[in-house]
């Protein structure tokens, strides 16, 4: 069992680095901070993320938390110190190949990549939080030459940040995030792009569906561009699949036989339904069979709280919640997702408390 | 000014028909119900949606609320009675063409199509609600031969159901929903399909983003197949655009020049950002500049209510709310979207009340 006692040197005092520093400091581990931008180090220190790195100090673990294009450089430099080194970049295969080219396999034992599944659309130390990783998965991606003690130490880092380590090979990791993050991001961008082309009056009929589909497309284009390009092999493989699927949809639209078209389209749509069911449920358990209860809620402070307080008193646990924005009136439709078995009782109990509901 | 006094004959006592019957009955308008399934009429009547249609009765307005493939038949039959006729189908051009073929332009004056932007993933009269249309847009889609009094009467129907009528031509309507509903649905299906192909361990790294992107793909494949096929011209046009965009993404992935690739991908991603900003904001106003505040909330009944009660006391209005499902721990991350100017104050005020927040 590896014991992480520190010091931990965090390179890059941005959103993730500062959050890691705050979480480790909270766990009693000494943290050193460095950043090309000295202002960031001062800010992060002020937030309790650690102290500036002392000259000549040797850390037990170096955590590289710099932008994607600078990860390899920072890891290579850190390996010189003899410390165990990890990085927290969103893509693992390409940086590993670059690092291997630079230092050779014999010096790779102390490097173990990782990737916490957490973040924010904001960046910089001011957006950091010690709670950022609470309960989130943190991918640990050892290569074949990694020393077992180094792997264990990086897993310990994840646990001290209160995340749940998930071990995957770099290739598996990159294939996984290509499917669960990079490809959905690109498809959201394609859907959103068509809205950018629309006449304003065509957008009067937008509902909650299109808002959900396109939400992630609002993310920083530079950062996502770097991330997706770094994972281009895995993403390109999926894009080729998607292009075939898209061609099938286009064919089903052009098909003149009504029955054949309906059947072809039905098959495509049914595979989508199967995909939504494959997403793991809350807390990693099997996907829970939920049902939606819609409630009309006046759009004034306190009303949503009153609703949820009533739901709490009724004793039903909310699995998910969406607020549907009304385009024209100060009434919100709140969609409560609850266990399917509880939905009807909840609806009746809410009606009894004078809420207007539908399913 | 057309006055809708009834009787209104609702053909099809499913989710939408029963909801319209309930809303009109609540507004004091006499409603008659009919459905090929007599059980549905009995259920809808029991819910207060109206009375069974009397033999030989002539209605002021007939509302056709049957599945897409049966709309034209039902409208043609209803026009024989001399009443004004509308339908509430999701696509307007194709049924209009079919009806015109069958009855000729001279008899079209009393028909005005419409489309309330409301619904549920459930169907049938038991899922109905008088509140379903509260504040929602309701597209009114007159053709060139429609009588102005007929158009006014259908707008009055929308208002009596507490919806906001939005007037569009049938072609404009179909182009609009192709962009804001049918295309996003298909792209969500393509993203979800790739999850259906994934190994379970690849799905351990799913976050909130992919859940949002794929949510609508869970909808009934038969119903969405009918709807999307009925709008195939408008959808096919957008799909051709999307295919070109997708090819550009694929090219950017294959591009060997790093700078050229980054620039090409950046342009595509930036257009997506512009698309998300084109979506009208809450209550039809301009898109509000919001910022996210993340709060760690124990996953037990009542905690979410306590949080929102605190937010209400602090006096900040919540624009949107998402619950991020933790894959591993009984702590939820709740994302509160609030006006950008209020975010920092809210975070501080919540921290002062012992909530753990980040941005």
Q: What is the pLDDT of residues A300-329, one digit of tens each?
A: 666 777 787 788 778 777 777 776 654 445
- Element holding A114 (H helix, E strand): strand A113-116
Contact A245 B190 (CB under 8 A): yes
| Residue A173: closest CA among A240, A224, A113 | A113
Q: Of B298 and A19, which is predicted with more confidence?
A: A19
Per-residue pLDDT reduced to its tens digit, A328-355: 455 667 878 787 778 888 888 898 888 8
- State which residue of chain B sits closest to A187, comparing Cα positions: B187
The alpha carbon of A342 is separated from its chain's Cα centroid by a whole number of angstroms, namely 30
Coil, strand or helix: which one is B115? Answer: strand
Q: How many helices (H) and strands (E) does chain B have?
A: 13, 12
Nearest by CB to residue B183, choosing from A191, A302, A315, is A191
pLDDT of B135 higher than 90: no
Contact B210 A180 (CB under 8 A): yes
Q: In Å, what is the CA distance from B316 to each residue of A241, B9, B58, B68, B313?
A: 45, 45, 53, 43, 8
pLDDT of B285 higher than 60: no
- Residues of chain A with Cβ-Cβ distance to B238 below 8 Å are 194
Coil, strand or helix: which one is A88? Answer: coil
Pairing between β-strand A61-64 and β-strand A51-52 as defined by DSSP bridges: unpaired
What single DSSP character describes residue A63? E
Interchain CB contact of B206 with A (< 8 Å): yes
Question: Residue A165 in contact with residue A158, Cβ under 8 Å?
Answer: yes
Per-residue pLDDT reduced to its tens digit, B111-132: 999 999 887 656 778 888 888 8
Looking at beta carbons, which pairs linking A281-289 to residues 24 or more positions away fall under 8 Å? A281/B325, A282/A319, A282/B299, A282/B325, A282/B326, A283/B299, A283/B325, A283/B326, A283/B327, A283/B328, A283/B329, A283/B330, A284/B204, A284/B327, A284/B328, A288/A319, A288/A339, A289/A339, A289/A340
Average pLDDT, chain B: 88
CATH architecture of A290-358: 2-Layer Sandwich (3.30)
Question: Residue B201 in contact with residue A172, Cβ under 8 Å?
Answer: yes
Question: What is chain B's alpha carbon radius of gyration, rounded to the nearest angstrom?
Answer: 24
Q: Looking at residue A331, what is its pLDDT?
A: 62
Q: How large is the average pLDDT for residues A25-54?
A: 94
Question: Where in chain B do CATH 1.10.3660.10 domains reside?
Answer: 174-278
pLDDT of A132 higher than 70: yes
Put simply, the chain B residues between 48 and 107 with a CB less than 8 A from any chain A CB are none
Question: Residue B297 in contact with residue B328, Cβ under 8 Å?
Answer: no
B352 falls in which pLDDT band (50, 70, 90)? confident
Question: Where in chain B do CATH 3.40.50.720 domains reside?
Answer: 8-168
Cα dihedral across residues B100, B17, B163, B308: positive or negative: negative
Contact B358 A198 (CB under 8 A): no
CA distance A141 to chain B (A): 13
Per-residue pLDDT reduced to its tens digit, B55-79: 888 999 999 999 888 999 999 999 9
Contact A246 B246 (CB under 8 A): yes
| Rounded CA separation B296/B298 (Å) | 7
Question: Residue A13 in contact with residue A36, Cβ under 8 Å?
Answer: no
- CA distance from start to end of chain B: 51
For chain A, give the number of residues.
Answer: 359
Per-residue pLDDT reduced to its tens digit, B155-202: 999 999 999 899 999 999 999 999 999 999 999 999 999 999 888 888
Question: Where in chain A do CATH 3.30.70.260 domains reside?
Answer: 290-358
Per-residue pLDDT reduced to its tens digit, B12-32: 999 999 999 999 999 999 999
CA distance B276 to chain A (A): 6
Contact A129 B357 (CB under 8 A): yes
Coil, strand or helix: which one is A358? Answer: strand
Q: Looking at residue A35, what is its pLDDT?
A: 96
CA distance A144 to chain B (A): 19
The alpha carbon of B62 is separated from its chain's Cα centroid by a whole number of angstroms, namely 23
Pairing between β-strand A51-52 and β-strand B164-167 as defined by DSSP bridges: unpaired
Q: Looking at residue B25, what is its pLDDT?
A: 96
Nearest by CB to residue B134, choosing from A134, A218, A331, is A331
Q: In this prediction, what percent of chain B has a pLDDT beyond 90?
A: 57
Question: Residue A54 in contact with residue A3, Cβ under 8 Å?
Answer: no
Q: In this prediction, what percent of chain A has a pLDDT beyond 70?
A: 92
Q: How large is the average pLDDT for residues A219-232?
A: 89
Contact A246 B239 (CB under 8 A): yes
CA distance B117 to chain A (A): 7
| Rounded CA separation B52/A306 (Å) | 39
Interchain CB contact of A201 with B (< 8 Å): yes
Nearest by CB to residue A308, choosing from B243, B266, B308, is B308
- Interface size between A and B, measured as CB pairs under 8 A: 506
Q: Looking at residue B331, what is its pLDDT?
A: 62
C-alpha dihedral, B241 to B242 to B248 to B253, nearest 10°: 180
- State which residue of chain B sits closest to A271, comparing Cα positions: B193
Q: In this prediction, what percent of chain B has a pLDDT beyond 70?
A: 92
B300 falls in which pLDDT band (50, 70, 90)? low
Q: Give the residues across from B52 on adjacent strands.
A: B33
Average pLDDT, chain A: 88
A272 falls in which pLDDT band (50, 70, 90)? very high
Cα dihedral across residues A336, A341, A343, A348: positive or negative: negative
Coil, strand or helix: which one is A299? Answer: coil
Q: Looking at residue B145, what is its pLDDT?
A: 94
CA distance A271 to chain B (A): 5
Put simply, the chain B residues between 130 and 169 with a CB less than 8 A from any chain A CB are 130-132, 134-137, 139, 162, 164, 166, 168
Coil, strand or helix: which one is A199? Answer: coil
- Element holding A247 (H helix, E strand): helix A232-254
Question: What residues contact B344, with CB distance under 8 A and at least 6 apart?
Answer: none
The structure tokens listed for A207 are 């509902």
What's the maximum distance between 2 C-alpha atoms anywhere in chain A? 76
Question: What residues contact B349, with CB distance under 8 A and at least 6 apart?
Answer: B314
Q: In what order do the strands lie in the sheet with A84-87?
A: A51-52, A31-34, A8-11, A61-64, A84-87
- Residues of chain B with Cβ-Cβ distance to A91 below 8 Å are none
A20 falls in which pLDDT band (50, 70, 90)? very high
| Residue A272: closest CA among B196, B204, B228 | B196
Per-residue pLDDT reduced to its tens digit, A153-212: 999 999 999 998 999 999 999 999 999 999 999 999 999 999 998 888 888 888 778 888
The structure tokens listed for B73 are 């038949």
Question: Residue A301 in contact with residue B317, Cβ under 8 Å?
Answer: yes
- Residues of chain B with Cβ-Cβ distance to A120 below 8 Å are 292, 294, 358-359
Question: Residue B158 in contact with residue B138, Cβ under 8 Å?
Answer: yes
Q: Looking at residue B310, what is its pLDDT?
A: 82
Q: What share of chain B is helix, strand, coil (3-state, %, to 5)?
A: 55, 15, 30
Interchain CB contact of A287 with B (< 8 Å): no
- Element holding A24 (H helix, E strand): helix A15-26
Q: What share of chain A is helix, strand, coil (3-state, %, to 5)?
A: 55, 15, 30
Put simply, the chain A residues between 240 and 269 with a CB less than 8 A from any chain B CB are 240-243, 245-247, 249-250, 252-254, 258, 261-262, 265-266, 268-269
Angle at B283 between CA B277 and CA B286, to 5 degrees: 35
- Element holding B298 (H helix, E strand): strand B290-298
The alpha carbon of A338 is separated from its chain's Cα centroid by a whole number of angstroms, namely 23
Tell me if ipTM is over 0.95: no
Nearest by CB to residue B204, choosing from A137, A193, A301, is A137
Q: Looking at residue A287, what is its pLDDT?
A: 52
Nearest by CB to residue B273, choosing from A177, A221, A357, is A221
Nearest by CB to residue B203, choosing from A183, A258, A279, is A279
Question: Residue B52 in contact with residue B45, Cβ under 8 Å?
Answer: yes
Q: In Å, what is the CA distance from B71 to each residue of B10, B42, B84, B96, B234?
A: 13, 22, 15, 10, 19
Please state which CATH number belongs to domain A8-168: 3.40.50.720
- Residues of chain A with Cβ-Cβ distance to B169 below 8 Å are none
CA distance B214 to chain A (A): 6
Interface probe, candidates A91, A139, A193, A238, chain B, greatest B C-beta count within 10 A: A193
Q: Find the range with the poorest average confidence among A119-123, B58-62, B132-136, B257-261.
A: A119-123
**CATH number among 1.20.58.220, 2.60.120.380, 1.10.3660.10, 3.30.70.3280, domain A174-278:** 1.10.3660.10
Contact A282 B186 (CB under 8 A): no
Residue that the structure tokens 């006729």 belong to:
B85
Q: Per-residue b/e over B204-229, b at no fewer than 16 CB within 10 Å?
A: bbbbbbbbbbbbbbbbebebbbbbbb
| Residue B139: closest CA among B162, B182, B168, B105 | B168
Q: Give the residues across from B33 on adjacent strands.
A: B10, B52
Q: Looking at residue A328, what is its pLDDT?
A: 47
Q: Of B322 and A76, which is predicted with more confidence?
A: A76
Nearest by CB to residue A280, choosing from B128, B204, B239, is B204
Per-residue pLDDT reduced to its tens digit, A69-91: 899 999 999 999 999 999 999 99
């Amino acid at each position: 069992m590896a014991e992480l006692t520190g010091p931990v040197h965090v390179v890059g005092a941005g959103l993730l680095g500062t959050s890691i520093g705050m979480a480790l400091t909270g766990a009693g581990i000494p943290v050193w901070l460095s950043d090309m931008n000295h202002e960031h180090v001062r800010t992060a220190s002020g937030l309790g993320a650690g102290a500036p790195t002392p000259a000549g100090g040797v850390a037990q673990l170096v955590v590289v938390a710099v932008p994607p294009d600078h990860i390899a450089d920072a890891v290579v430099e850190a390996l010189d110190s003899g410390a165990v080194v990890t990085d927290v970049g969103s893509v693992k295969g390409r940086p590993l190949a670059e690092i291997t080219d630079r230092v050779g396999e014999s010096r790779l034992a102390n490097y173990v990549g990782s990737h916490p599944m957490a973040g924010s659309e904001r960046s910089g130390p001011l957006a950091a939080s010690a709670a950022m990783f609470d309960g989130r998965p943190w991918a640990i991606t050892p290569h074949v030459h990694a020393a077992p003690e180094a792997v264990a130490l990086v897993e310990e880092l994840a646990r001290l940040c209160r995340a749940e380590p998930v071990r995957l090979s770099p290739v598996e990791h990159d294939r996984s995030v290509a499917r669960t993050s990079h490809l959905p991001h690109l498809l959201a961008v394609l859907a959103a792009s068509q809205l950018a082309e629309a006449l304003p009056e065509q957008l009067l009929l937008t509902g909650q569906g299109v808002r959900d589909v396109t939400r992630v497309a609002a993310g920083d284009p530079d950062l996502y561009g770097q991330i997706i390009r770094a994972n281009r092999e895995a993403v390109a493989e999926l894009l080729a699949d998607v292009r075939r699927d898209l061609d099938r949809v286009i064919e089903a639209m052009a098909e003149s036989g009504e029955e054949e078209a309906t059947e072809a389209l039905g098959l495509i749509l049914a595979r989508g339904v199967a995909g939504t069911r494959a997403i793991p449920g809350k807390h990693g358990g099997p996907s829970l069979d939920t049902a939606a209860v819609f409630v009309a809620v006046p759009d004034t402070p306190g009303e949503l709280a009153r609703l949820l307080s009533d739901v709490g008193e009724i004793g039903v646990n909310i699995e998910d919640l969406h607020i549907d924005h009304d385009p024209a009136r100060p009434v919100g439709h709140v969609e409560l997702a609850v266990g399917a078995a509880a939905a009807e009782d909840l609806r009746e109990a809410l009606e009894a408390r004078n809420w207007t509901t539908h399913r």
